[in-house]
């Protein structure tokens, strides 16, 4: 089996975890890695709007993070099916202490993936610092600094995806965590928008219609005042990715 793995550097800590996992399968699969951080042309050609894209045998496209079971199935000669992750989402706001995400407290964001990936989080911090930022987003923290939610962003000019880019537009890279009982994403997103206002006129974000990867669902953003700017990508039975924008001028 041939596997092409496209990834946006360490923008998501799971990218680092996947790269380490793929190393274990170098002798069993034909693996080619493509870092699209500075390759907007490839990102556009591959219609890439996720932190990762896996293409098997040049035709089968997968968007979700890779797992060992997926790779073992490939090694057995079968191409797996990909199912969307659509958990129930709470709408009642839960706000703890909302703080800027900086180098000093970056380790607190490590729970965004739901797994222990401290090494990859360190690589993500280095990636973000390369963008010249000191505040990377905002965290919503509960008691004992337990991560409830967060929102992060980059200048749109740093984004390899085929989205509108200019010096007055910021790109929300990720909004987390999704819970069935509460909405813990709203507070850090609102804090991030307030922080960006004055330096940017617009924020943009990608969201699936009904799933939470990336960021969604769509209703969450429209309820926060984002306007649907249209569909960027569709995979039948898996995802429909929209671009959303919001004016944040003071």
Q: Domains (ranges, CATH) in the chain?
A: 2-75 (3.40.30.10), 97-247 (3.40.630.30)
User: How many angstroms separate the Cα of 98 from the Cα of each of 148, 191, 192?
Assistant: 10, 8, 10
Does residue 242 sit in helix, strand or coil?
strand
Distance CA 96, CA 129 (A): 26
**Structure-block tokens of residue 138:** 């905002």
CA neighbor of 111 nearest in space, from 85, 71, 149: 149
- As a whole number of angstroms, the longest Cα–Cα distance in the chain is 57
Q: Average pLDDT by consecutive 10-residue portion of the chain (250 residues)?
A: 96 92 97 97 95 96 93 96 86 96 92 74 92 94 95 97 97 94 97 96 96 89 97 90 92
What burial class does residue 205 get, using C-beta atoms within 10 Å of its C-beta: 0-12 exposed, 13-18 middle, 19+ buried?
Answer: buried
pLDDT of residue 245: 98
Distance CA 167, CA 189 (A): 20
CA neighbor of 140 nearest in space, from 154, 130, 150: 150
Cβ(203)–Cβ(171) under 8 Å? yes
Cβ(63)–Cβ(52) under 8 Å? yes
CA neighbor of 96 nearest in space, from 179, 204, 171: 179
Global pTM exceeds 0.75: yes
What 8-state DSSP symbol labels residue 250?
A: -
């Amino acid at each position: 089996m041939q596997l092409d793995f496209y990834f946006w550097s360490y923008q998501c800590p799971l990218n680092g975890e996947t790269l380490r996992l793929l190393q274990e399968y170098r002798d069993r699969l034909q693996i080619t890695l493509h870092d699209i951080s500075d390759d907007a042309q490839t990102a556009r050609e591959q219609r890439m709007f996720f932190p990762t894209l896996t293409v098997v045998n040049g035709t089968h496209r997968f968007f979700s993070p890779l797992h060992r079971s997926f790779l073992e199935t490939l090694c057995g000669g079968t191409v797996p099916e990909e199912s969307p992750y659509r958990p129930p989402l709470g709408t009642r706001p839960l706000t703890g202490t909302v703080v800027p995400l900086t180098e000093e407290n970056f380790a607190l964001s490590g729970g965004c993936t739901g797994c222990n990936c401290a090494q990859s989080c360190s690589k993500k911090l280095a990636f973000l610092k390369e963008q010249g930022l000191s505040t990377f987003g905002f965290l919503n923290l509960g008691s004992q600094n337990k991560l409830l939610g967060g929102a992060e962003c980059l200048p749109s000019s740093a984004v390899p995806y085929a989205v509108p880019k200019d010096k007055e537009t910021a790109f929300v890279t990720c909004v987390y965590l999704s819970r069935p009982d509460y909405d813990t994403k709203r507070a850090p997103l609102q804090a991030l928008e307030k922080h960006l206002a004055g330096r940017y006129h617009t924020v943009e974000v990608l969201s699936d219609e009904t799933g939470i990867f990336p960021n969604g669902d769509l209703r969450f953003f429209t309820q926060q005042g984002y306007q649907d700017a249209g569909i960027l990508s569709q995979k039948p039975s898996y995802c429909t990715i929209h671009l959303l924008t919001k004016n944040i001028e003071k």
